[in-house]
Structure 1
Amino acid sequence: METEAQRYLSLRASRRTERSDSGSRLKDHETGISANGKGIQDPLRLVWRRGFIRLILVSAILWMLLILFALLFHLWSCHSSISFLSALCKHDSKVLMILDTMGLTSKPQHRCPISLAQDPDAIIIPKRTPDIIPKSLAYILEDEQGNEDRKSKPLFGGHQNWTQRENSFKLNTTMKVHCGFAKNGGAEMDAVDVKYAKKCKFVVASGIFDGYDTPHQPSNISQRSQKLFCFLMVVDDVSLDFIKQNVTVREDNDGGKWVGIWRLVTLHHSPYDEPRRNGKVPKILTHRLFPKAQYSIWIDGKMELIIDPLLILERYLWRGKHTFAIACHKHHKSIYEEADAIKRRKRYARPLIDLHMKIYRYEGMELWSPMKGTISDVPEGAIIIREHTAMTNLFSCLWFNEVNLFTPRDQLSFGYVVHRLSNKFKFFMFPNCEYNSLFILHRHTREHSSVVEWVKSLDEFKGNSSGLRESRGGLGLWTPYPGDLSKVQLPSVQRTSSAG
């Protein structure tokens, strides 16, 4: 036992000696390094290396922050309401294109909430807006033709000459202008519908022509609005027959025709050859069809209204003391952009669209810019909200006269008439996303088609018998223009949207 104990103690002692020697050698080694001076140089070199790496990292971070700040400023300026900053932005810049590809740019919403009043019964209807300029507005009811030797049948829009057109843009206290419905020009209503319309002070109007749609019933209509508003659906004879074949038409004791809440109002003897142009009569000249109306809301025939009309008047007219409200176009701000899109989509004869735009260019219509003071020159005209004052009625007449003289694409004429009235016509242009929140859009029962839309050159128009040239509308494009259009160059446009 003693021998094993001694061996154990001897083994522990030898291990202590080995550890002591090892520590001594390590210490001697470190001392040797210090003596050579290397221990002083390595920490300095290490600090230098770390500092250089930190400098590179900080520089890279600052550079990235600078780039990010520049991108954010670029995006902010493009969406700024400040004209100067907005003008600095190039919307077709490579920066925006790259950010758009990455999904980092903000895109217009399709639908958005509308700050509507809650209760239609609580809305107080304000007093009418007083008329100032013009104070009195009258209409030319007889189609006056200058040359008796070439006298033709009366036209619905009248034979307005260039001098009359020019004078119609000069505002006076008392005015008399062309405004459709010339005697024997077509678009006659049944006596029973004329009688019914005389009691309508608040109107929701729509229209269907050439059998492209059937009436869609509005929803969310309060009892107050059902009593207050007349829901008038203007149709031609073709559409009336089509509607009767597809939905139930009820006839009341007075001979009035109804589809649900809609009262069908038939316009006999369509004034134009082109269905699209016929559709502009109730759309733009609502005040002429229903002269007793004080307020009107126009919606296209393919739309289903889903907002109470009294809430619409409160939101878009009365709250801001406006008399005319319309949505801005989703894609275009300039009429030249819209004209380019119309030609691409073959929505009317391309040479006539160009001629229409050359006349406007000659008369001083510029591309839209923030300096104009309007949100856009191009509206989304499927919904129009109006108080029928003398000024809004005048604007509607002048707008219609342009549609009558030139092409039926009314979006091309709207901004031009605003321009000619030198901003004396005040209106509210609301966001397109709100426009999309007012209705549900339904498809047409069939696509519209016209031979005029496929014409590629003026040489293809061979006269009225060819079926290519309208005989009762757009005659301003065939009447000698008093200015020299040969040197007019249309501005080049940047296609901001492939969908537009």
Structure 2
Amino acid sequence: MLPERRGVIVGSDVNKGADHNSDHGLRAVRRSRRFGRRRLLFWLFSFAAICSICIAVFGFKLFFHGVEEHQSIPTLTSVKEILTSVEDVPVEPETMDPPKKKPPRGRFYPCKVELRDSVNELVEPKVFGKFVNFSLNYVAREDRPSLEHPITPRFGGHQTLEEREQSFHAANQTIHCGFVEGSEGSPSTGFDLDKEDKMYMNTCTVVVSSCIFGSSDFLRRPTSKLISQYSKKNVCFVMFVDKETLVKLSKEGSTPDERGFVGLWRIVVVSNLPYDDMRKTGKVPKFLSHRLFPSARYSIWLDSKLRLHTDPMMLIEYFLWRRRSEYAISNHYTRHCVWDEVQQNKRLNKYNHTAIDEQFLFYQADGLVKFDPSDPKKPLPSYVPEGSFIIRAHTPMSNLFSCLWFNEVDRFTSRDQLSFGYTFLKLKTTNPDKPLVLHMFKDCERRAITKLFHHRNP
């Protein structure tokens, strides 16, 4: 139809208005094209405007919907649902809070120690030796042949519970106290010393000793200028080491001279260490100085983290003679109850938790109670010692206490702070009329007579 209509219009009466009709048709076509474009633009603009309005309206509602949900107070049911959903969702490492920084360690300072002006003024009190007296001997060999139940020789021996209970009595007896050999022909149980070192140690009457096993520390020499000539001549300074430590110290410039000395320290090499645990091996010279130095009347023990800068004879006068005591040790600077010490050891993974629990439960079953600082009749100012510095006279009660404490370390854990309070209290209750005169001094005094260092990093 369109061609026909177009043909009629074009072909009718050409002479009448050909030019006019031609111009009119062209204008009509142009108007129709412009109208079409406008309609297209109008609908595009309208569509865009509608979309913008929808986005603005719905986005605004969505925003307020989120705010309202965040600020709304959930009901009890919704709280339970939330807690249940939180418990059911595993926490990924990325979502966990960062570990809290450890609080800074407290600073502890020394306090004044009233020492004598000179060792020349020192006189041992005549009444000092009037302590409990009895005869104490030690098990040297265990010979229990049994084909059905053979025993492996141990340095600490195989003390039964009955023997352990009996050993707390301050009476003439023979007890386990380390250095126990097996039957004839059995290998050594450990802590073997050279004959020359043994001969030297047998001559000592006053001893300052320490040890480094497993290259666990540096060699810290006593401050020579603060040690009197009398002490340098009459006091034995003995450092026990193993072969590994000797090699390490030699590489660091601490090579013993031809007499075996590095400064004031006589270096004594220990072979065949009795325990795989270096800490437990270190308890041998710490507690058993009366076994290692059979002629000694006094001994001072200091851990390898300490440097002695006070004359040892001054210390014996101050902590033993002046206090009329036979054993002196400092209390711990923060903890005084064994319960707290157990928690701290487990918190810092100082030892196997099961072993700590076994020891602690044993002590509780045998009557160990919590430390009560308000009790005016408390036997000690603390049940937890610092333990790195000990001054003792080699009296029967002091030797007995040292053996008993060592046997607890041998039987249980090497954390000797756990067994100190129990050992002292049991010895006291077992012998109410035969006291161990123990002086527990303040830790600030220990800091005044020694210098504290950190252990060597492993």
Fold match by TM threshold 0.5: yes
Shift of 1:147: 5.3
Give the corresponding residue for 1:428: 439
Distance 1:234 1:128, change over 3 A: farther
Give the corresponding residue for 1:346: 349
Give the corresponding residue for 1:225: 231
Give the corresponding residue for 2:180: 182
Percent same amino acid at aligned positions?
A: 38
1:414 aligns with 2:420: yes
Give the corresponding residue for 1:379: 385
Instruction: Give the alignment's TM-score, normalised by structure 1.
Output: 0.65
SS in 2 for 1:116: coil
1:195 aligns with 2:194: no
CA distance in 2, matches of 1:436, 1:144: 46
CA distance in 2, matches of 1:437, 1:350: 35
Shift of 1:135: 1.4
CA distance in 1, matches of 2:127, 2:147: 44
Between Structure 1 and Structure 2, whose CA radius of gyration is higher?
Answer: 2
1:241 aligns with 2:247: yes
Distance 1:115 1:154, change over 3 A: same
CA distance in 1, matches of 2:286, 2:268: 13
Runs (4+) of structure 1 exceeding 6 A deviation are none
SS in 2 for 1:384: strand
SS in 1 for 2:448: coil
Give the corresponding residue for 1:443: 454
Matched positions, count:
337
CA distance in 2, matches of 1:248, 1:367: 45
CA distance in 2, matches of 1:296, 1:140: 22
Output the amino acid matched with 1:239.
T
Asked whether the equivalents of residues 108 and 433 of structure 1 are also in contact (C-alpha less than 8 Å), the reply is no
Give the corresponding residue for 2:116: 117
1:152 aligns with 2:151: yes
Output the amino acid matched with 1:428.
H
Give the corresponding residue for 1:451: none
CA distance in 2, matches of 1:434, 1:341: 24
SS in 1 for 2:363: helix
Give the corresponding residue for 2:219: 215
Distance 1:245 1:156, change over 3 A: same
Counterpart mapping for 1:267-416 below 5 A: 267-369=270-372, 370=375, 371-416=377-422
CA deviations 1:84-126 (Å, max 9, x no partner) are: xxxxxxxxxxxxxxxxxxxxxxx99521111111112221234
Instruction: Give the alignment's TM-score, normalised by structure 2.
Output: 0.71
Asked whether the equivalents of residues 328 and 438 of structure 2 are also in contact (C-alpha less than 8 Å), the reply is yes
Name the stretch that deviates more: 409-418 or 125-134. 125-134
CA distance in 1, matches of 2:298, 2:406: 19
Shift of 1:153: 2.6
Shift of 1:443: 2.0
CA distance in 2, matches of 1:235, 1:356: 29
Shift of 1:150: 2.5
CA distance in 2, matches of 1:333, 1:239: 34
Asked whether the equivalents of residues 208 and 300 of structure 2 are also in contact (C-alpha less than 8 Å), the reply is yes
Output the amino acid matched with 2:243.
D
Shift of 1:365: 0.5
CA distance in 1, matches of 2:321, 2:361: 38
Distance 1:210 1:127, change over 3 A: farther
Distance 1:110 1:301, change over 3 A: same
Distance 1:440 1:205, change over 3 A: same
CA deviations 1:367-390 (Å, max 9, x no partner) are: 112343210111111000001011
Give the corresponding residue for 2:95: none
CA distance in 1, matches of 2:109, 2:425: 28
Distance 1:407 1:146, change over 3 A: farther
Shift of 1:251: 3.2
Output the amino acid matched with 1:375.
P
CA distance in 2, matches of 1:329, 1:260: 31
Distance 1:134 1:177, change over 3 A: farther
Give the corresponding residue for 2:50: none
Output the amino acid matched with 1:365.
L
Structure 1 runs not aligned, ≥5 long: 1-106, 448-500
SS in 1 for 2:341: helix
Shift of 1:149: 2.2
Name the stretch that deviates more: 161-170 or 140-149. 140-149
SS in 2 for 1:365: coil
CA RMSD of aligned residues (A): 1.8
Structure 2 runs not aligned, ≥5 long: 1-105, 182-187, 430-434
1:135 aligns with 2:134: yes
CA distance in 2, matches of 1:347, 1:207: 20
Shift of 1:161: 0.9
